[in-house]
Each structure stands twice: as structure tokens, then as C-alpha cells.
Structure 1
């Protein structure tokens, strides 16, 4: 087996892009909801602004709400537009193993670098089921690198250190989209060793770096869709060991994100994840993510306004940090 991309290559800013939607995409009778021209524009913008990797079709990438033809044409458009300029890890998660494998094979045939895979979420999966699922995908696609998605709300539970230790034995799994740098982080880092890079979100990068400086090599983010400048400055600060600057950017990011979480908690954010993220992308002004697709297309106005404020505050950070590049 020879993977196209290994854990040792996982570095920098992994930005998950939205799936841009046309007007009317929030209706059930929309036939083709994807704005393909905007897809091309976003991809080119991200690459021109020095993103390291593009990822597709996670939660706010609306992997769950696209029809099969939309999912296929969107990823074809992304991969064709990227044209090998940066790696692409494309989302193939479905409600079952067989459809996920079928989609994964399509993506790799399209030219994706690797796969961005959560796990089936109709019912909670125990340790053996989680390991078995990823093992089955790896068996079916032995040369496909996998970034797994560890979201305790979406997938009904946090991956444990013991499970991570077992997943680290699957060569295909090179990284994990890691939700929160909290008490379990160091145990998970120890469990995966050098086989899996745990990627925190952008506003946790500084703390992951402080706790495990040799392991915090990359982040996941959606904020590249609002502007890459704060992320690039943070990356440079961490790579150069500039703790003061890294801490300042982190503080600014956390302040900007403060109204993204309704009632201040991740659980309530998760109820409106797609809507909140698309609203803040649109409010930042760099991309036109369009409306959210059904059934995740309704949101209390007070929560929506909180997301708009995040977009406006991030736009100000983009202007501030652009001057430092």
C-alpha cells in the first residue's frame, strides 16, 4: 500500500469550504441547489490566499443535504478547479458503510487526494463498530488517506483514547478533525502517537501548541472562507515560536466567535451548525454561501444575528491582519 498523503505531510491550514447555494435552495423543490460558479471562485480565492488544504462536505459543507447528483457535480467542480494546486480531502460520509465506500471510490477516481469521513450517525456506534467502520473503508480503498471527523454532537459521542489507539493502527487514517482541546486532548495525543495528527480548530491551535508543541502541526477551520489573513498570521507565529503574537491572534479569534454559540454552548450551536456557519460566511462578505438547504434551513433570529456579528467582526480581523502579511 502506498498512500498519496501521509501523517508526516499534515501541516498548516485545512479549510472546509461551504457548498454554495443558489437563491431558492432553501426550498424542498429546488432541483439543483449548487452555485457552481461561486464554487470555482471560492476555490481559487482560497488557493490564491495560501490555504494548505481544501476539505469538502462536512457538516456546514452540507454533505447531508445534497442530492447525489449535486454531491457528485460539486466535488467534480472543486477537484477540477483545484487541478492539483493543493490537496483536496473530500467528504463521502453517508448513513451506511457501503454507500460511503461507493462515494469514496468515486472521489478517488475524480482525483481527490483523500477522504474526509465522519461515521454513520443513525445510531450511536461503540468502539468495535467505529474501528470496524474505518477498517472496512481502508480495506476497500487501501491507497486512500483518511481524515476522520471527531464531533461528539454529530456522531453521538467522543472518540476515546483507547479507540484512538486502535484507529492509529489503520494506516489510512492520517489525521482527525478534533473539536475541543480540553482535558482529554493529551491522552488522545499519546494514544495516536505519530500515526494520526489531531487537528484542533483555529482558535484552539495556540493551546494545542502550548500543550503538545511537536504534535500541533495543523488546524481545521471554516474561517478561511471569511479571510485567510488572521489564520496565516497565526500559522506564522506558531511556526516561528512567537508566543505573544499567537496568543493575540487567538484572543481576537475567540472574541470574534463569542456570539456564534447560542447560550454559549456547543450543544445548542450544533442544533443550528449549518445555518450559523453559512450566515457568518455571508456576513463576512468574501463568499456567497447562499441559503442553507432543508431541513436545516430555519433558525431563531437572535441566533442568526449572533452569527452575522461574528462575520462582521471577523471581516475586521481580516483587514487588521492583512496589513501584517
Structure 2
């Protein structure tokens, strides 16, 4: 049965971090490193009041983990959180049956909700998918998970690029999915800015119970200024937690001058570099988290590309400019 409105807002109007995944030199999951990363969030008194975390998101190697690794990662995150903040479970898998099984595991394990990601692989359901004409490609999979677990659902609505949406799912299939799956409580906004504005208007008018959970951190100032941001699902919390909390808090308190000082003082330039190339986004999340000392290695699992020297150099400078403590430099880059 649909999630009640009070529960929807309490769960969805939060700042979720899409966790990067600590790895060892042999690419095995660094379980102790994952626990340490989770503690970084739950032990932060400011973040734990307003935030949450997502295990097995795209930033967390979701496409390159076995089902058993995904289950174990979620169990570690839930154990370390111990009920202190909400935990969403990414359920991506290479077929619908496995997706449903991951959703069932998430419910049994005690996740607060599931984080659903569109199918991938064949060009039919990836680069060539016309989501407006054939919404069932993803909708049927969401419905299968919903029928199996009856939990709050958060979406990661990436799609083939289109105008004005960018890589976000167009409004027509978005509204159909929200209408046919009442358990959807949060919609991650992976959109180009013009598309985000249109999507926000459409959801406010036709699906007001679905929270706008913003992803593209380089637009947060604008989203906040026009009221089109209910929370986040973003990997940017892995590298800029403190100034992001400061900036969001200033905007929520209508202190525009303070918000601009933080934003223009270096935060927006850091975000702009991280998001400048979508093909490098998750690589740069990992480098940034490593620069902060939150993970021991800056690499993602193959076939994700290795970071380049210029990315280490540029990110370090931009983080320092934004007032973020950096504990590593180019001389610390491990050889792999």
C-alpha cells in the first residue's frame, strides 16, 4: 500500500549521499574502509540530522559488483549506521529477476527504501531507449520490485540524452511512472537545468508527493533559490560535505549574502569541474574522496578509467580554494 504522506516527507526530504565504494589494491571491496566511510557521515552531528546514505548507487560501483558483493555492502552499511540515519539500497542488476531479489534482500536486511536504476546493457534498453514511447522498459521492472517488497522507492532516472532534459527521463514517462507506482517518494534530478525547471513544475503540479532530490551539485544554488530542491541524491557529499551544509543552511535561512560567499568563494568552481564531463564524474568523486582521506585508494573497479594527473592536481587546488581540508597530494598517488 502507498507510503503515507508524513512518512514520505520524513524519508524523502533529506540529503542522501551516493556512497563511493572503498576498494583494495586487488579491487576487492574494502570492508573496513566502507565502515570508516559510513562513520564519517553518521558521526557528523549536522549531517546525521538531515542526511542519509545510499549503498550500491552508481557512484558505488553498482554496475561492476556481483549480487553477493552488493548484498554484503548493504549489510555493512546498515550495520554501521545502526538505525541512526536512513539507508537506501540500490537494486540495479542485469535482469529483472535479480533486481527483485536484491529488493527483497534490502527489505529483509532493514533498508529504509530502495533506489531503482533503469535497465542497462543492450542498446534496446540503453542508448536507443525511447522512454516516452516505451516507458514499460523501466516501468515494468519498477512494478516488479514494488509488488515484491512494498517499500518506499527512490529513482535514478537516467535516460538517453534529449532536449531539454539532458540525461534525465522526460516528463511524460516520469509522470506515468509516478502515477502507476504510488510508492515512489523521491525522484533524483539528473537533468540539464532547463529540463529540471520543467520537471519540477510538472511534479509539483501532478505528483506533489514525490520529492525533488537534486543530483547536479553545480546547480544547487539556483535550485534552492527557486524552491526546486527538497533534498539530494548526490555523490558530491563524498568530497564537500561541510561547505555544502553551510551553503544549504544559509539558503534555507534566507541569508543570501552568506550563501553567495560560500558558493562564489570556491564551492561552485569545485562542483563545476567535477561535473564538467559526465564520463569522468564518478572518477572525480573517487579522487576527491581520496584527497580528503575518506578512502585509501582513488581508483574505481575496471572497466572504469583511471584518473589522470591533471584531475588530481585540479581537484586538490579547487578543494583548497573552497576551504576543504585536503590530506593528500599528487606525491601520494599510488601506482596501479
Task: Using structure 1 for the length normalisation, give the TM-score.
Answer: 0.83
Q: Would you say the 8 A contact 1:90–1:112 is kept in 2?
A: yes
Match of residue 201 from structure 2: 190
Match of residue 284 from structure 2: 276
Q: Unmatched 5+ residue regions in structure 2?
A: 327-336
TM-fit CA distance, 1:241: 1.6
TM-fit CA distance, 1:233: 0.9
Match of residue 204 from structure 1: 219
TM-fit CA distance, 1:18: 1.2
Cα RMSD (Å): 2.6
- Name which of 29, 35, 40 aligns with 1:34: 29
Change (3 A) 1:48 1:259: same
Q: How far apart are the structure 2 equivalents of 1:161 and 1:233?
A: 32
Q: How far apart are the structure 1 equivalents of 2:140 and 2:202?
A: 18
Query: How is 1:228-243 mapped onto 2 (pairs within 5 angstroms)?
Result: 228-243=241-256
Query: How is 1:72-151 mapped onto 2 (pairs within 5 angstroms)?
Result: 72-122=71-121, 123-124=125-126, 125=129, 126-127=131-132, 128-129=135-136, 130-142=138-150, 144-151=151-158
Q: Would you say the 8 A contact 2:91–2:114 is kept in 1?
A: yes
Q: How far apart are the structure 2 equivalents of 1:13 and 1:21?
A: 24
Match of residue 171 from structure 2: 161
- Name which of 252, 256, 262 aligns with 2:270: 256
Q: How far apart are the structure 1 equivalents of 2:307 and 2:195?
A: 32
Change (3 A) 1:163 1:8: farther
Q: How far apart are the structure 2 equivalents of 1:308 and 1:246?
A: 23
Q: How far apart are the structure 2 equivalents of 1:154 and 1:74?
A: 31
Change (3 A) 1:159 1:78: same
Q: How far apart are the structure 1 equivalents of 2:283 and 2:321?
A: 18
Flag as ranges the 4+ runs of structure 1 deviating above 6 A.
Answer: 153-156
Match of residue 329 from structure 2: none
Match of residue 21 from structure 1: 23
Q: Would you say the 8 A contact 2:57–2:90 is kept in 1?
A: yes
Q: Would you say the 8 A contact 1:17–1:222 is kept in 2?
A: yes
Q: Unmatched 5+ residue regions in structure 1?
A: 26-32, 320-325
